Amino acid sequence: MSEALKTSDIVLDPYSIPLDSKFNVAQGPLFEHDAHWAYFDRLRAEAPVHYCDESEFGAYWSVTRYKDIMEVDTNHEVFSSEGGIVVADQDEDFELPMFIAMDPPTHDDQRRVVSPVVQPINLAKLEGTIRSRAAALLDDLPLGEEIDWVDRISIELTTQMLATLFDFPFEDRRKLTRWSDVATADEDMGIVESEDQRRAELFECLTTFTEIFKERQVKPGNNDLITMLAHGEATRDMLERPMEFLGNLILLIVGGNDTTRNSISGGVLALNQHPAEYEKLRKNPALITSMVPEIIRWQTPLAHMRRRAKVDTVLNGQSIKAGDKVVMWYVSGNRDAEAIEKPYEFIIDRAKPRQHLSFGFGIHRCMGNRLAEMQLRVVWEEIMKRFDFIEVVGEPVRIRSSFVKGYATLPVVLHPKK
């Protein structure tokens, strides 16, 4: 019932409304109903740098072509991340500073502290653990009956990984999932009852990690993120700035959780929608290497990132004023035929598959991009050893957000290898 009401709130056909300053793509329900594609097709073709002066998040520019997005993303002198990186502003009385939402030099100093954990050389050490955990999970799944792929695999696997990176008590790992969901929840998504509840849960996250931080100060763990923060020159005094500590925890939790989770689910859906590619994969599982970045492009697990102009500037002919919000729609740039051949097709052996926008570019480029690729590669290698077909047996429930682009549920039936 509520679903039907929500659908009636949005216009599914963007060509039925005028392309003026009320044309608004930052609507969660558009994404929930998978209805955003035509909106972005129209913007890319007719108004690639477009100003919307009325939305629940205030006025903002939409940048929708690959090339223009690249220009904004690589020009941090003009387009600042300070104060927030999503279209929604943070509540003034609950601001969470985090390095993704800072400019140099603080951004660089803090990022350098935690980035070694996800450098390729360290990832090799994690691969065995990821593989054995993925194998155990997959071996445990019931065959031939309907299960929810999101809950059983995507969430569980990424949560286990996150617990490993933080060296977080393994039996409490679903707390990480919960905090990740709570941190990105819009009020109408049904995840929390109220803003007060949201803040209370995030403070519980802060309290829990403050204890762990204090422990690791005296007894360093084994190359985990909290130990790195507790001993890094730019971050070891972070407990004195609790909101900044919480902000960076949320950044690392969401960054390593939602994104990979939704790419694991997205890959299953993409292969079901492109059966010829699934067949290609069965014949040649070595294609997993190039399929993984293609899944990440196809899914684009974060639909956008936001900047704010520091000075008056011109982008593709449009005059942007100092202070204006500028939203880079990665989800649109990843379907730009000027930059990507046959962008709506899922092609597991694309040439240059890593040339997509899902990780962003420039100094804020996703720090964990090689970890994400490694997780997906290992999961798919283990899947292909066991299953002939992961059959999607119903419509997925999509998340009502114009930021986190993903799935709440994805019903599947597993068919074992013959």
Partner 1 sequence: MPKITYIQFDGTESSVDANPGTTVMNAALDNLVPGIDADCGGECSCATCHVLVDESWMAKVGQPSVAEESMLDLNPDRQPNSRLSCQIPVTEDLDGLVVNLPEFQY
Q: Which residues bind partner 1 (CB under 8 A)?
A: 70, 73-74, 76, 104, 108, 111-112, 115-116, 119-121, 352, 354-355, 359, 361-363, 365, 369
304, 329 Cβ separation under 8 angstroms: yes
Q: How far is the CB of 107 from partner 1 (least distance, A)?
A: 9
Q: How far is the CB of 333 from partner 1 (least distance, A)?
A: 13
Q: How far is the CB of 197 from partner 1 (least distance, A)?
A: 37
Q: How far is the CB of 385 from partner 1 (least distance, A)?
A: 25
Nearer to partner 1, 152 or 377 (CB): 377
Nearer to partner 1, 58 or 120 (CB): 120
Tell me how far apart the alpha carbons of residues 95 and 102 are, in angstroms, rounded to a whole number: 13
Nearer to partner 1, 218 or 351 (CB): 351
Give me the phi and psi of 329, to 5 degrees please: -90, 90
Q: How far is the CB of 83 from partner 1 (least distance, A)?
A: 20
Nearer to partner 1, 73 or 148 (CB): 73
Tell me how far apart the alpha carbons of residues 39 and 15 are, in angstroms, rounded to a whole number: 8
- Cα dihedral: 197, 201, 204, 206 (round 10): -110
Tell me how far apart the alpha carbons of residues 336 and 70 are, in angstroms, rounded to a whole number: 12
Q: How far is the CB of 25 from partner 1 (least distance, A)?
A: 25
Reference 115, options 293, 242, 256; nearest CA is 256
Reference 301, options 269, 264, 337, 336; nearest CA is 264
Q: How far is the CB of 407 from partner 1 (least distance, A)?
A: 26
Nearer to partner 1, 73 or 258 (CB): 73
Q: How far is the CB of 75 from partner 1 (least distance, A)?
A: 9
Q: How far is the CB of 163 from partner 1 (least distance, A)?
A: 24
Nearer to partner 1, 228 or 404 (CB): 228
Nearer to partner 1, 21 or 119 (CB): 119
Task: Work out the end-to-end distance of the chain between its first and last CA atoms, rounded to an integer number of angstroms.
Answer: 42
Tell me how far apart the alpha carbons of residues 157 and 324 are, in angstroms, rounded to a whole number: 39
Examine residue 14 and say whether the peptide bond preceding it is cis (omega within 30 degrees of 0): no
Tell me the residue type at 411.
P
Q: Name the 3-class secondary structure at 49.
A: strand
Residues whose CB is less than 8 angstroms from the CB of residue 304 and which lie 6 or more positions away in sequence, other chains included: 26, 86, 87, 327, 328, 329, 330, 331, 402, 403
Nearer to partner 1, 70 or 85 (CB): 70
Tell me how far apart the alpha carbons of residues 209 and 224 are, in angstroms, rounded to a whole number: 13
Nearer to partner 1, 157 or 295 (CB): 295
**Beta-bridge partners for 392:** 412
Q: How many helices (H) and strands (E) does the chain have?
A: 17, 12
